Structure 1
Amino acid sequence: MKKTGILLSSLLLAASLLTACGGNSAAPAEGENNTIKVGVTAGPHEEIMNKVKEVAAAEGLTVDVVVFNDYVQPNQALVSGNLDANSFQTIPFLEKFNADQKANLVIVANTVTFPMGLYSAKYKSLDEIPDGGIAGVQNDPTNRGRALKLYEAAGLIKLKEDAGETASPLDIVENPKNLEFKELEAAFLARSLSSVDIASINTNFAMEAGYSPKTDSIFAETSDSPYVNVIAAKDENKDNPNLQKLIEVYRSEEVKKFIDENFDGAVLPSW
């Protein structure tokens, strides 16, 4: 009986120790569950997400904002698990990334639209762009295709009828001004404006360089642009409560008011 009693006591002690250990390991996990790490590009996406962070904090959600200066790393970081979500890209861009990288990132919410514009530091209208002028364009396939469609909408070129979302200068069938297209990193186009005659610039990079899409562009997409931006996540994380809370806060009246008041129509809420 003594041995049985000793054995029973030992088992109870072990069970209590396991319970204590379990309790200690659960505490950090609970804290982590109140944090979400979100990647954004510098500029308006960063500013909006910082406002989301502020509003979310009052509701018990910690948003860790990670800022990138290109369009490649935010998706790579999401795939590798270094981010829980990102907010910087359009639907065609995400689809192209998934196809090229055999990834399975998914759209969890539409956010805002940034109308892409054509800018020039030398000329004030499309008519002034000279014959043989140098036209800057993004070098990543999706933004390049979008930019070339913008040049087409402006009447500067004509693309093949079957030119898709990833059109390239090789798809140009009419070029009355004989423009020479120079491909650059999207983030560098605004900084390189003095070395080209005209350039297509994404709104976030234009604003970061001090340009107003509303007053400084000589041609721009309209408000019904199909290039809405999205929050993306891994498929297995799309129903995460923290992610759903992030979306709810992003679409709050407080954040919408911030967008309307701070970007003067250059960034359009699209939910």
Structure 2
Amino acid sequence: MKKILSLVLIAVVTLALAACGKKDDKTITVGASPAPHAEILEKAKPILEKKGYDLKIKKINDYTTPNKLLDKGEIDANFFQHTPYLKKESEDKGYKIESAGDVHLEPMAVYSKKYKKLKDLPDGAIIYVSNNPAEQGRFLKFFVDEGLIKLKKGVKIQDATFKDITENKKHLKFNHQQSAEYLPKIYQNQDADAVIINSNFAIDQKLSPKKDSIALEKPENNPYSNLVAVQKGHKDDKKVKELMKALQSKEIKDFINKKYDGAVVPAK
């Protein structure tokens, strides 16, 4: 009799756990930066609800916690970073996480009160950029694309540094002593020939990356597109695929274009 009761109890517990598993399979918990990431996820909620999924958004206002939580399995995914950052974090901290796909780009832009195009910059022009070493390649890409500078052969743009410049046709000088938040003030004071400013700081100063810049990052094949990250081996999970389908849908792309007016653009 005791053996029968034990078997029944095991069966009940097994069914309960299976039921919980099924319920969890329909829940997607994503750690995200408040804006624009969490805002975009909020817009995706009803899309996922139609598919039977409950999207839970955990707002995290720093760049270190989301990957820690994901690596521990405390969230299903995170949404705040681009590929170079994910790569560096994984190398430095041994995280077993990977990209499930790109969603949007927060484009950097070049601003100038003196010139209308990058090619108009004079010989010896001074370009102010932030002191973030992880984005030196990002700054240089503007000038590589315009044919104004060349880099060492074999160097990927996201890994490039100022030391990798092999040809500088206009002898451009890059001042990288300032923090990113001070760059809009340098631009407003006309203290430079050109300034490269992150979108969030540009918007804070009422600058439109789309309308006020002389060069704007392109979303095509851009390594700095913001992605959704998941634990390795889970990017093909059904609920992850449904999440990405929603975030890469026309509805979300239209929302991004309308709400952010060029300060955030859909990834391509």
TM-score by length of 1: 0.74
Choose 224-233 or 172-181, whichever is displaced more. 172-181
Q: 2:246 aligns with which of 246, 249, 271?
A: 249
1:19-66 deviation digits (Å, cap 9, x = unpaired): 333344444443332222223334333321221123223432222223
Is 1:215–2:211 an aligned residue pair? yes
Contact 2:219 2:266 in 1 (8 A): no
Question: Counterpart amino acid of 1:193?
Answer: P
- Give the Cα separation in 1 of the matches to 2:128 and 2:137: 14
Q: Secondary structure at the match of 2:209?
A: coil
Identity among equivalent pairs (%): 29
Q: Are 1:269 and 2:266 an aligned pair?
A: yes
CA separation in 2, counterparts of 1:41 and 1:234? 18
Find the structure with the greater CA-based Rg. Answer: 1
Distance 1:219 1:132, change over 3 A: closer
What is the alpha-carbon root mean square deviation over aligned residues? 3.5
Go from structure 1 to structure 2 and tell me whether the alpha carbon gap of 1:242 and 1:14 turns closer, same or farther (over 3 Å shift): same
- 2:41 corresponds, among 37, 43, 49, to 49
Distance 1:139 1:131 in 2: 22
Selected match of 1:112 from 88, 95, 104: 104
Report the counterpart of residue 180 of structure 1 in structure 2: 175
Q: What secondary structure sits across from 1:214 in the alignment?
A: helix
SS in 2 for 1:43: helix
- Deviations 1:195-216, CA, capped at 9 Å, x for gaps: 5645433435544664321012
Deviations 1:172-216 (A, max 9, x none): 4547354421263xxxx2465215645433435544664321012
Change in 2 beyond 3 A, CA 1:205/1:236: farther
| Residue identity opposite 1:239 in structure 2 | D
Contact kept in structure 2, 1:42 and 1:204, CA below 8 Å? no
Partners of 2:129 and 2:67 in 1: how far apart?
25
Q: Which deviates the most, 50-59 or 193-202?
A: 193-202
Q: CA deviation at 1:154?
A: 6.1
- Which SS does the other structure have where 2:160 is aligned? coil
Whether 2:222 is the aligned partner of 1:226: answer yes
2:199 to 196, 200, 203: 203
CA distance in 1, matches of 2:131, 2:60: 17
- Cα contact 1:206–1:212 (8 A) shared by 2: yes
**Cα offset for 1:243?**
0.9
For 2:185, the equivalent position in structure 1 comes to 194
Report which stretch shifted further, 94-103 or 124-133. Answer: 124-133
Q: What code does the residue aligned with 2:49 have?
A: A
Report 1:1-271 matches (<5 A).
9-119=1-111, 125=116, 133=126, 135-137=128-130, 139-141=132-134, 143-153=135-145, 158=149, 160-162=151-153, 163-164=155-156, 165-172=158-165, 174=168, 176=171, 178-182=173-177, 184=179, 189-190=180-181, 192-195=183-186, 197=192, 198-203=194-199, 206-207=202-203, 210-224=206-220, 226-227=222-223, 228-270=225-267
Q: Distance in 2 between matches of 1:83 and 1:91?
A: 19
Structure 1 counterpart of 2:137, which letter? G
Range with greater deviation from structure 2 (236-245 or 70-79): 70-79
Report deviation, 1:234. Answer: 1.5
Once the 2 structures are TM-superposed, how far is the Cα of residue 225 of structure 1 from its aligned partner? Answer: 5.0
Q: Which amino acid aligns with 1:238?
A: K
The number of residue pairs the alignment matches comes to 256
Aligned residue for 1:226, secondary structure, equals: coil
Aligned partners of 1:113 and 1:225 also within 8 Å: no
Q: Conserved in 1, the CA contact under 8 Å of 2:184 and 2:205? A: no
| 1:69 shift after superposition | 4.2
Q: Alpha carbons of 1:190 and 1:217: their partners in 2 closer, same or farther (altered >3 Å)?
A: farther
Is the contact between residue 53 and residue 63 of structure 1 (CA under 8 Å) also seen in structure 2?
A: yes
